[in-house]
């Protein structure tokens, strides 16, 4: 039983293993450090800022989530990172250009202490990048073991009691799911034989799960979205979550599409374009990496709108997503959506959304929440796919046979009711007839 | 107990009493007629198009709402209207310019048969309009009785078994709530003395409630949002709902704001401007009518964002709503919203939304749903404020002591769980742990 | 000397030879017919609507251009068309979906009388189209002769006194200029040998110039932008103009960029995206046709901004143009431009332009003006490249050694001063010191 | 005769008298200082950056304007300012929030040396401001004399050889032109009697003209747009220019409207809204100051589009300008324009422009150019209204009987041809027939 008394203690150090030390990672790490020092606020994070309603509306019980469930404290976090460049977190953050110099200077020494380990990397899987700070080994299994060795050394050096790993590195080229991804035995054989079907992100995931460490897939890569990894997660009783952090345009889409559907407004087309000029934009300028991202971004409308249930409204909409590398913008991604809808008697309307966004600013709190909730899940004895964390993910994994849920608001209800369930509080249904004396 | 067996039959004619025969009313009426004839679809209407999930996701029980709860059929609807111009519904629809001639011609004779009764009206309450087709009487009570007489004649002529009244006429000037509005006795005295505090919309509402007819307030007018009317509704066991149909910009706001709050993104400012050129735009060019509308439109952000719970995120946002009369557009209202948000570490972002909307196209299905659900509620023995219909309302009424709920998604859960409750189905919590074998 | 008395008479019928009978052509033809009948106005056309200032501002001499220079009358126009589908102009216009049925019905019989000749066409040059109504011949020279024969028959049948040919058909695949395009002898040899370097648009142009008929290139195809054709135009004393009608986004660009440069505002980047769903959009979905269009669209900023003269302002701007086939829109192309500029001390600003455009509505009056001005030029004895018509063209041809002029306002001054020059009026310099007594 | 040899020398110090030390003034002054030091570039300024074409296109003569006409050097500028707050230019710039701290720090001591004189001011004329650092005197004439005394002291202290005064302070309340403004004698009588019809900006203008100092009116205030001042300017042979610096939305309007008219595209409506949060926005929140601004902003379309010449295109367009005080934005004004146009056969299109602007960044180089060109005009012996500077002005003054010219491109031709005329170069007509051998 999931009972609150069975949740293991949140005391001791939490080792956060961050793959990639680019714009998102450095923004995430810097924000944790700045929040700890009290020089910035972790806006955007539910674990740090949000409240949860308990009981009836008139009970006025709305504690902070972090006072309601036993999360790890920011003060107990230690970071270990890997990257294909040797720059420390301060240097990497300056290069990323997301945070202003004055904000980084306030935590300069903390950031400089974060020096990445050599990465597992091959240009074959991310065509636009050429790393220099990479591991070498006889085969992919050996690379996995090197990662595990990095983690063990870190554990000893920092006296870590438990870990979470999160992938915040680049989008890999599109990989079709093959038999090798379905069976753990085949996969391990592939590791030993350095199969081309095994990408770096899978090697990291394998290392984590093998050590019983929860793994979060922040990119649209296959990673843990395959039978082999799920078998391993079940064997070792480890929570996993993915794929792809839900930020920017897709976040807006999963806010707006549920609204259109709630009102039974039909959809003729949804055209989404993006301009961005950071390393992410450069990577996605490669059609093979873009394909991976596109599949992730395109899926959300179908599952929200359910054309099979509403053929007259949603059967024939035209959905197109474009990502354009546009250097003048740096990390300040801008999206433009044009949405052609129709209502009563088929009359047409248009919605246009222009989002002057900062990708890493949206991704950082999502990273933090996923890490802290995955750690909570592990301590609560939950393992395998954590569907209740779909709220944070662009292309969430779900149990076999279930359609993933992309509606942000259903995801939110699911997340909050899961927390209430963990702590044995009543679930909220918003029925609310008890406030009225009406029959 | 609300038990499905106690819901009275949906057989017999439903008389829909529509106050005002302008753009929204004629679009609503024309769409009902066209849907009946099969020449158009009632897109945008939950009662006609939406499904409701019952049981577990894997049960695949998703009936149409209209097959789940016993609603009145479109074929059983008869319309009675009042307007300050004598034009019939065909002429009024042509003048409104919302629907195209070819669509109106397909139902020309049906529309021409809808000829409005003389209205209760005074220019004092809607400065920009000057009606010619108005009732006269010794005092306001006598006007109310004339309305009731209109309804009785209609009932006999058409063999109506039950009614719903909906106000779809203009926004009246801003009226402060006074003692006269709180007590039924004082209010009735005011009617007899033609008190200036009693506006035409209150006279219609009084006539409806007095006859036990559910009343829906589609404008931001005070109407039934006052003690006197609520006392009368309780006495006569009549459902009431209001205020102001949720369409266009406010609909978008109650979709987007819950999304921002779900992600704990802070708000610096929200600037909303509208351009529209129909009669509604002209009426709102009068500052006194605009005030009524503005109060209705401004309230939604506060109740969704809860600055008292989230002072760091929402205490100081600047919210401004402008409505501009701009004749080139006719009924094709266009809104532009600029939203200044902030996230992780306080970094700022901007969202801009441009909605090329058609107000009446959005309002018509909302009118239909409110009418059919209000009739259902009456047959189910529910009375007083129907908070579960907040989903359709810009400024929903709630029980004393409750903060109105403006979040479209909570409103939707509330509406659907109310229907499930009526029919004795399990309420949905989206917990969904049963699909996973994870501990 | 260009003297007004030497301009040949505008009397007699003008045969307008239109290649392609798609959205632009049918809109052009329908508008001419509707204007003749007085059921519509030829808005957008300088030859029909514009005035020209003569003399000093205080002289108040502002005749209509058509009263100032001897243009052909709309009443004297006869159309001959070629297309790869046999549909007549009424059917083709209905399919194009630009003009509403009621507008086409008012000129139905006139439009039905326009039945296209079989086209010279090969799918090789427009990958997305597959025509059925095409000429066949032993070689490309024979096809050219068939076109000339079509024209001669039309001349006799309709008693035409003079002609202009305009290409309004699709964008062909990108063709590099080769030696065969430079020499008339080589080109004619290529025609006889059916060289793959000779595209259909060149065959039409050759036929026209050979017969002494002015040729206007409304697409970005090479067509007459090559030495062989210019030699032929000079030999036969025929005016030519091209390339690519200036409409929509590029029109906006050549309005706005001169404004930015006038004020010495620097440019970091200009991102242009388009969504459109007509046959043009489908053709441009083929990368080879898009390349031709892209070259045409990209060139305008460089020549307006002159980075070689203003390296600090315009050396490094990033210019990207995207065209997306998006069927929900039909002919109603929509463009979105994001422009990153900088001013005083390097501070940055952004301009975003969203144009809900109708491509054919903008192209039709441009087609009419080009036809009428080309005819005027021919009668005035002008031949070769008509740079003064750059005003209407996206990628104007200019004399060897001259940079093309893309600034709409310089183009306008050039056009109007050319007309003044033809008619021996003073050129306008806007100096205007004569109105002031200031020294 | 205006001959280049008669232009007086540009040697010696130029005293720039700046009224108001707010966002625009401090940005202007800081930019001049930073440019002098080489730490920033004066982008946006024609006098510093632009070239001018001389002779034929093929001559390749394109000198910088500053190398072509004898302008004052930035190094020779000295500033004197007046403001209602005693803060020095560094403090005022920090408060204005336009320029970043690091940019101001590079010129900190220069800026701190600029300490404003007490201002002539009354809250009656700018309702939203309450100054503390103001002059007092027996009557308005005495205040004018105090200003002249300030200037004389500055002249002696800094060894100034000539001056220009520019008003960069707030928009005053709307003032109707009355007889007192027409006659110099009446006006001087009014000064002595402290007539309420005489606003502070008139007092400054009077002081300047009385001393023979060119006066530039950077706001929409009446100031020198009246007979009394023009008489004085003629008497003392002083150049004057105004009203209202052309920046932001109006700049865009005078770029775009000429483009629409060039193409004979009709206009149904133009809706312009602005959000800004600086002192300017606060001042314009007062309806009386807004009226002054509105008149200035509304006038431009009429004079560009000439509805009297083009009634079918421009007779009935609906033009509305709104300015909204929106504090989250500070000086980063944002404008949104919706433009409803129509073309061929009356078909409608829409253009939407969203300008994320920085008002002061656009106004600063305009201020510099107006100052340097006014000084040049004075040295060239030109006096009275300088219509050739309309290029920089939102609501330019023109000779009696002339319609002001608002088309940015005609204004630009006028400006450049005036410079060519001064220096005895050929005027440019863009005829360009000489490049072609075509008859």
Residue C420 phi, psi dihedral angles, 5° rounding: -60, -40
- Is it the case that residue D439 has pLDDT exceeding 60? no
B8 in contact with chain A, both atoms CB, cutoff 8 A:
no
- Is it the case that residue C1 has pLDDT exceeding 70? no
Minimum Cα–Cα distance from B348: chain D residue: D328
Minimum Cα–Cα distance from D39: chain C residue: C345
Minimum Cα–Cα distance from C28: chain D residue: D344
**Non-local CB neighbours of B44 within 8 Å, separated by 6+ positions:** A263, A264, A265, A343, A344, B361, B362, B364, B365, B366
| Percent of chain D residues past pLDDT 70, beyond the cut | 98
pLDDT of residue D220: 92
C387 in contact with chain D, both atoms CB, cutoff 8 A:
yes
pLDDT of residue D3: 64
Q: What is the pLDDT of residues B77-91, one digit of tens each?
A: 999 999 999 999 999
Res. C56 pLDDT band, cuts 50 70 90: confident
pLDDT of residue B437: 62
Asked if C430 and D436 come within 8 Å (Cβ–Cβ), the reply is no
Kindly report the length of chain B.
439
Rounded to a whole number of angstroms, the CA Rg of chain A reads 22
d(CA C78, CA C80) in angstroms, rounded, equals 7
| Percent of chain C residues past pLDDT 90, beyond the cut | 80
Tell me what the pLDDT averaged over chain B comes to: 93
Res. C438 pLDDT band, cuts 50 70 90: low
Q: What is the pLDDT of residues B239-284, one digit of tens each?
A: 999 999 999 899 999 999 999 999 999 999 999 999 988 777 788 8
Strand partners, B325: B276
The H-assigned helical ranges of C240-392 are 248-262, 279-284, 287-305, 311-314, 359-379
d(CA C206, CA C228) in angstroms, rounded, equals 9
Token digits of residue B280:
């509604």
Tell me the nearest-neighbour CA distance from C328 into chain A, angstroms. Answer: 6
- Adjacency order of strands within the sheet including A318-325: A318-325, A266-276, A334-342, A348-356, B348-356, B334-342, B266-276, B318-325
Tell me the nearest-neighbour CA distance from C195 into chain D, angstroms. Answer: 31
What average pLDDT does the segment C127-133 reach? Answer: 84
Residue D182 phi, psi dihedral angles, 5° rounding: -90, -30
A313 in contact with chain B, both atoms CB, cutoff 8 A:
yes
Residue D132 phi, psi dihedral angles, 5° rounding: -120, -20
Instruction: Tell me how far the alpha carbon of residue B268 is from its chain's centroid.
Output: 30
**Non-local CB neighbours of B23 within 8 Å, separated by 6+ positions:** B96, B97, B98, B278, B279, B280, B331, B359, B360
CB C330 within 8 A of CB A275: no
Minimum Cα–Cα distance from C234: chain D residue: D438
Tell me the nearest-neighbour CA distance from B414 into chain D, angstroms. Answer: 35
Find tokens 């004629």 and name the residue. Answer: B26
d(CA C8, CA C28) in angstroms, rounded, equals 26
d(CA A292, CA A303) in angstroms, rounded, equals 18
What average pLDDT does the segment A148-156 reach? Answer: 98
Tell me what the pLDDT averaged over chain C comes to: 93
Kindly report the length of chain D.
439
Asked if D45 and C264 come within 8 Å (Cβ–Cβ), the reply is yes
- Is it the case that residue D264 has pLDDT exceeding 90? yes
Token digits of residue D149:
């005394």
- Is it the case that residue A195 has pLDDT exceeding 90? yes
Res. B56 pLDDT band, cuts 50 70 90: confident
Partner-chain residue, chosen from B268, B271, B354, that has the shortest CB–CB distance to D275? B271
Q: What is the pLDDT of residues A68-126, one digit of tens each?
A: 999 999 999 999 999 999 999 999 999 999 999 999 999 999 999 999 999 999 888 88
- Is it the case that residue A131 has pLDDT exceeding 90? no
- Is it the case that residue D18 has pLDDT exceeding 90? yes
d(CA A432, CA B174) in angstroms, rounded, equals 31
A322 in contact with chain C, both atoms CB, cutoff 8 A:
yes
What average pLDDT does the segment B105-125 reach? Answer: 95
pLDDT of residue B438: 55
Asked if D439 and C57 come within 8 Å (Cβ–Cβ), the reply is no
Q: What is the pLDDT of residues C275-328, one digit of tens each?
A: 988 777 788 877 878 888 888 778 889 999 999 999 999 998 999 999 899 988
- Is it the case that residue A3 has pLDDT exceeding 80? no
Rounded to a whole number of angstroms, the CA Rg of chain B reads 22
The H-assigned helical ranges of B211-247 are 227-236
D421 in contact with chain B, both atoms CB, cutoff 8 A:
no
Measure CA of the first residue to CA of the last residue in chain C; give whole Å. 39
Strand partners, B276: B325
How many residue pairs from chains B and D have C-beta atoms closer than 8 A?
49
Q: What is the pLDDT of residues B162-200, one digit of tens each?
A: 999 999 999 998 889 999 999 999 999 999 999 999 999
Domains, chain B, ordered by start: 4-245+360-422 (3.40.50.720), 248-356 (3.30.360.10)
Asked if A41 and B345 come within 8 Å (Cβ–Cβ), the reply is yes
d(CA C278, CA C282) in angstroms, rounded, equals 6
Asked if B327 and D318 come within 8 Å (Cβ–Cβ), the reply is yes
Minimum Cα–Cα distance from C271: chain A residue: A326
Q: What is the pTM of this model?
A: 0.93
Res. B31 pLDDT band, cuts 50 70 90: very high
Predicted ipTM?
A: 0.94
pLDDT of residue A416: 95
Chain B partners within 8 Å of D328 (Cβ)? 268-269, 318, 340
Distances (CA, A) of A123 to A19, A132, A324, D309: 16, 10, 21, 66
Stretch 328-367 of chain C: residues touching chain A, C-beta under 8 Å: 328-329, 334, 336, 338, 340, 352, 354
pLDDT of residue D25: 98
Strand partners, C321: C272
C8 in contact with chain D, both atoms CB, cutoff 8 A:
no
Asked if A318 and C324 come within 8 Å (Cβ–Cβ), the reply is no
Asked if C318 and A324 come within 8 Å (Cβ–Cβ), the reply is no
Res. B39 pLDDT band, cuts 50 70 90: very high
Asked if B273 and D338 come within 8 Å (Cβ–Cβ), the reply is no
Chain C partners within 8 Å of D263 (Cβ)? 44, 46, 251, 362, 365
Q: What is the pLDDT of residues B424-434, one digit of tens each?
A: 999 988 877 77
Burial class (CB in 10 A: 0-12, 13-18, 19+), D156: exposed
pLDDT of residue C278: 79
Q: What is the pLDDT of residues C19-34, one digit of tens each?
A: 999 999 999 999 999 9
Q: Which of D231, D249, D345 to mutate to test the interface with C (most CBs of C within 10 A)?
A: D345
Tell me the nearest-neighbour CA distance from D43 into chain C, angstroms. Answer: 4
What average pLDDT does the segment A390-410 reach? Answer: 92
Res. C382 pLDDT band, cuts 50 70 90: very high
Report the 10 Å Cβ neighbour count for A315: 12
What average pLDDT does the segment C90-116 reach? Answer: 96
d(CA C387, CA C417) in angstroms, rounded, equals 12
D68 in contact with chain C, both atoms CB, cutoff 8 A:
no
Tell me the nearest-neighbour CA distance from A301 into chain C, angstroms. Answer: 17
Q: Which residues of C332-363 are buried (b: 16+ CB within 10 A; e: fewer)?
A: bbbbbbbbbbbbbbbbebbbbbbbbbbbbbbb
pLDDT of residue D281: 77
**Which SS3 state, helix, strand or coil, does residue A437 take?**
coil
pLDDT of residue A364: 98
Chain A partners within 8 Å of C320 (Cβ)? 324, 326
What average pLDDT does the segment B13-30 reach? Answer: 97
D235 in contact with chain C, both atoms CB, cutoff 8 A:
no
**Non-local CB neighbours of B85 within 8 Å, separated by 6+ positions:** B21, B92, B116, B131, B132, B133
- Is it the case that residue D438 has pLDDT exceeding 60? no
pLDDT of residue D290: 83
Q: What is the pLDDT of residues C383-434, one digit of tens each?
A: 999 999 999 999 999 988 888 999 999 999 999 999 999 999 999 888 777 7
pLDDT of residue D161: 97
What percentage of chain C's residues is helix, strand, coil (to nearest 5)? 45, 20, 35
Tell me the nearest-neighbour CA distance from D276 into chain B, angstroms. Answer: 11
Chain C partners within 8 Å of D365 (Cβ)? 263-264, 343-344
pLDDT of residue B42: 97
Q: What is the pLDDT of residues C191-243, one digit of tens each?
A: 999 999 999 999 999 999 999 999 999 999 999 999 999 999 999 999 999 99
Res. A42 pLDDT band, cuts 50 70 90: very high
Strand partners, D274: D323, D335
- Is it the case that residue C122 has pLDDT exceeding 60? yes
Q: What is the pLDDT of residues A94-106, one digit of tens each?
A: 999 999 999 999 9
C57 in contact with chain D, both atoms CB, cutoff 8 A:
yes
A417 in contact with chain B, both atoms CB, cutoff 8 A:
yes
Res. A438 pLDDT band, cuts 50 70 90: low
- Is it the case that residue A62 has pLDDT exceeding 60? yes
Stretch 214-233 of chain A: residues touching chain B, C-beta under 8 Å: none
Least confident of B3-7, D29-33, D38-42: B3-7
Nearest Cα residue to C57 out of C439, C438, C434: C434
Token digits of residue C322:
């995207």
CB A205 within 8 A of CB A224: yes
Measure CA of the first residue to CA of the last residue in chain D; give whole Å. 39
């Amino acid at each position: 039983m999931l009972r609150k008394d069975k949740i293991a203690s949140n005391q001791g150090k939490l080792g956060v293993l961050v793959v990639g030390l680019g714009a998102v990672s450095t923004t995430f790490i810097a924000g944790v450090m700045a929040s700890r020092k009290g020089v910035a606020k972790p806006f955007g994070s539910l674990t740090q800022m949000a409240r949860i309603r308990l009981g009836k509306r008139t009970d006025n019980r709305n504690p902070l989530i972090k006072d309601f469930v036993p999360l790890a404290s920011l003060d107990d976090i230690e970071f270990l990172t890997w990257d294909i460049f040797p720059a420390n977190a301060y240097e990497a953050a300056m290069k990323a250009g997301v945070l202003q110099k004055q904000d980084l200077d306030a935590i300069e020494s903390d950031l400089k202490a974060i020096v990445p380990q050599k990465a597992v990397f091959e240009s074959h899987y991310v065509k636009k990048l050429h790393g220099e700070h990479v591991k070498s080994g006889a085969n992919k299994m050996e690379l996995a073991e090197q990662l595990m060795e990095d983690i063990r050394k870190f554990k000893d050096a920092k006296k870590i009691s438990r870990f979470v790993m999160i992938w915040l590195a680049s989008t890999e080229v599109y990989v079709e799911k093959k038999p090798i991804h379905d069976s753990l035995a085949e996969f391990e054989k592939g590791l030993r034989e350095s199969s081309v079907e095994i990408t770096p992100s899978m090697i990291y995931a394998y290392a984590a799960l093998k050590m019983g460490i929860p793994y979060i897939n922040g990119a649209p890569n296959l990673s843990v979205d395959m039978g082999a990894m799920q078998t391993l997660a079940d064997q070792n009783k480890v929570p996993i979550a993915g794929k792809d952090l839900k930020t920017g345009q897709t976040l807006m889409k999963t806010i707006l599409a549920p609204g259109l559907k709630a009102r039974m407004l039909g959809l003729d087309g949804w055209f989404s374009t993006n301009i961005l000029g950071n390393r992410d934009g450069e990577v996605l300028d490669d059609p093979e990496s873009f394909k991976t991202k596109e599949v992730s971004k395109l899926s959300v409308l179908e599952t929200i709108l359910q054309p099979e249930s509403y053929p007259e409204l949603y059967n024939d909409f035209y959905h197109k997503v474009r990502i354009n590398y546009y250097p003048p913008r740096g990390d300040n991604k801008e999206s433009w959506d044009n949405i052609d809808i129709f209502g009563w008697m088929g009359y047409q309307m248009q919605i246009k959304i222009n989002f002057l966004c900062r990708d890493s600013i949206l991704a950082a709190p999502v990273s933090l929440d996923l890490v802290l909730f995955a750690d909570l899940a592990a301590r609560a004895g939950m393992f395998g796919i954590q569907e209740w964390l779909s709220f944070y993910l662009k292309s969430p994994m779900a149990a076999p046979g279930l359609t993933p849920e992309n509606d942000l608001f259903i995801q939110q209800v699911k997340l909050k009711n899961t927390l209430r369930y963990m702590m044995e509080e009543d679930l909220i249904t918003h029925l609310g007839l008890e406030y009225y004396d009406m029959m």
